[in-house]
Structure 1
Amino acid sequence: MTAPLRPARPAWRSPRSLLILAGALALSLAASQLGSAVTVPNLPWYDGLAKPSFNPPKLAFPIAWTILYALMAVSLWRVAVIGEGAARRRALTAYAVQFALNVAWSFAFFGAQNPGLGLGVILALLAAIVWTILTFRSIDGLAAGLLHPYLAWVAFATALNASILFLN
């Protein structure tokens, strides 16, 4: 009787894996830079808006997003290395959709100076993050779990966006 085959452990330190990690980190950095490029010039507009009492201090945003983009990159890396076939394609598609919506929100809210448009984009982003978590979970539970803080922050940002729309 032969022992059951165990799946091979991913070669996390292989050149291919490290290249995927570098790409995931570069993608997160690019999204961060795009968001900053449209947000920073529009901060005077944002400062003039009425905001709810739960609006965090300005310093919270870059700290939170730095951490979240790093978690997103590691999550993407794990799925890209571990995933195979159609499951990986579905997961990467979900990730691409939520990632595009993530960047689009900055352009809608800050670039267009339109909290209503921002709210529409962020609601779609919330749904896309949930979709991404579900598709990632089918490949790697840790990768899915790394996206939970991102989901929580975007849910908070949705409440903030909605409040700003209501107050202005």
Structure 2
Amino acid sequence: MITATSQNLSAAVLIVSLAGFGPATAQSVPDVENGRYSLSTVADGVIRLDTRTGAVSTCNNSGAGWACYAVPDERAALDAEIGRLQSENEKLKAQLVARGPTVAGKIDEPLPKTDSLKPSPPKAAEGERKIEIPLPSDRDMDRVMSFLEQAWRRLVEMANRMQKDFSGKI
């Protein structure tokens, strides 16, 4: 049977144990320096974001203690390359201006437009060329017609057979 004294004793033990647990968990959480760092847990440790500089680091416990390693920043490399290309572009523009105009005989007015859809008049050499396509002979036409007639008859016969097969009068 549980008495009131044993209940009070167990409640007191529970309160003392919880009070002792609170400071232990508070010490295991890293100090984030007034919100400078934002931490996110991952499978093998923590990812730390420096909210002032934007630097990202991966932190893990390697047995000897916690160690953080900076994640390579691709954006910084891209910004550096963009800056290099912009300065190179400015240098090349300055070199072009220093050379002066290089195109001789350039005109400021555009050339008159011509209608590209109108056929141009044939030149003398083109007028003499003629392409002749021989027409099929009567014999060739008869052969084509007989082939088409045979193909049509076979197609009609196949359609009749299919109709009989579907209607069940095989």
Q: Which has the higher contact order (CA 8 A, sep 6+)?
A: 1
Larger Rg: 2
Which structure's residues are more often strand, by fraction?
A: 2
TMscore range, shorter length = under 0.3
